C-alpha cells in the first residue's frame, strides 16, 4: 500500500529523497519509492522461505535430517533480511512525507461513493432488510455518476432513505472523519498513544 500511495497519479505520500537517488532514470518528474520497492522484493524472499519451512514439516520415517540443510540457510538469512526490512520501514515511516490535501482530492474523486458501505449498514441498523438495502444503495451508487450528481445528492433525494435517516445521520455517514473515529482504539490496543 505504501508503494501504491507514492505513485505519481496517487501522490498521497513520498519517501524521503536520499542523496544519490535520482528517481526515475527515464522520467525526471518521478520519485521512485526505492526503499518500499526493496521491502516488497525482500518480502517475496521471506514468503519463499516460508514454503521451504512448510516442506520441512514432512520428514521420513522417524525424523530424518533433510530439513537441517535448508534451515541452516533460511533461519539466519530470514532473520537478517527481516531485520533489514524493519530498519528500512522504520526509516520510511519516520521521514515519510504525507500530503493530506492530495488524500482529500483523491477521496473526492469518488463523488461520495466511498460512503456506500456505511450507508448500507445504517439502513440495515434502521430496520431495512439487508438485501433490499444493498440493492437500493447499489442502484443509487450506479446512478449518481450517470446523472452527474454526487452520491450524497442522490441519497438525500431518495424518499426510502429519508424515511429512515435524517439530515444529521447523513452528515455523519458522509463525514470521512467519522470513518476514522476508532483509530485511536486500535493504537491503544497495541500500547501506542497518538
Q: What are the pLDDT digits (tens) for 56-109?
A: 888 788 778 888 888 999 999 999 999 999 999 999 999 999 999 999 999 999
As a whole number of angstroms, the distance between CA 132 and CA 124 comes to 9
**33 Cβ contact list (under 8 Å, min separation 6):** 2, 3, 6, 14, 15
Looking at the whole model, is its pTM more than 0.85? no
Dump pLDDT digits (tens) for 110-134: 999 999 999 999 999 999 999 999 9
pLDDT above 90 (res 148): yes
For residue 172, give the nearest of 163, 181, 184 by alpha carbon.
181
Q: What is the DSSP letter of 127?
A: T
CATH fit for domain 110-180, picks 3.30.70.270, 1.10.357.10, 1.10.40.30, 1.10.10.60: 1.10.40.30
pLDDT band at 193; cut points 50, 70, 90: confident
52 sits in which H/E element: helix 34-55
Q: In the prediction, which pLDDT does 171 show?
A: 96
pLDDT tier for residue 23 given thresholds of 50, 70 and 90: low
**Span of 132-141, 159-168, 172-181 with lowest mean pLDDT:** 172-181
Range list for CATH 1.20.200.10 in the chain: 2-99
Say if residues 115 and 173 touch (Cβ distance below 8 Å): yes
CATH no. for 2-99: 1.20.200.10
pLDDT level of residue 17 (50, 70, 90 thresholds)? confident
Identify the band that residue 16 occupies on the pLDDT scale cut at 50, 70 and 90: confident
Give ranges for CATH 1.10.40.30 in the chain.
Answer: 110-180
Residue 11 scores a pLDDT above 80: yes
Exposed (0-12), middle (13-18) or buried (19+): which is 81, by Cβ within 10 Å? middle
Amino acid at each position: 500500500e505504501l508503494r501504491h500511495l507514492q505513485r505519481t497519479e496517487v501522490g498521497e505520500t513520498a519517501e524521503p529523497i536520499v542523496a544519490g537517488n535520482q528517481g526515475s532514470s527515464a522520467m525526471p518528474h518521478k520519485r521512485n519509492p526505492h526503499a518500499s520497492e526493496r521491502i516488497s522484493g525482500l518480502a517475496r524472499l521471506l514468503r519463499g522461505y516460508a514454503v521451504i519451512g512448510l516442506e520441512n514439516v514432512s520428514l521420513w520415517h522417524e525424523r530424518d535430517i533433510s530439513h537441517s540443510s535448508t534451515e541452516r540457510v533460511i533461519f539466519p538469512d530470514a532473520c537478517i533480511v527481516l531485520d533489514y526490512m524493519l530498519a528500512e520501514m522504520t526509516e520510511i515511516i519516520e521521514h515519510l512525507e504525507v500530503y493530506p490535501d492530495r488524500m482529500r482530492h483523491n477521496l473526492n474523486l469518488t463523488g461520495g461513493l466511498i460512503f456506500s458501505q456505511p450507508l448500507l449498514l445504517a439502513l440495515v441498523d434502521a430496520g431495512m432488510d439487508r438485501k433490499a438495502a444493498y440493492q437500493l444503495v447499489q442502484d443509487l451508487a450506479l446512478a449518481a455518476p450517470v446523472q452527474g450528481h454526487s452520491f450524497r445528492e442522490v441519497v438525500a433525494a431518495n424518499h426510502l432513505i429519508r424515511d429512515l435517516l435524517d439530515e444529521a445521520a447523513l452528515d455523519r455517514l458522509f463525514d470521512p472523519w467519522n470513518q476514522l473515529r476508532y483509530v485511536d482504539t486500535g493504537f491503544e490496543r497495541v500500547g501506542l498513544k497518538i
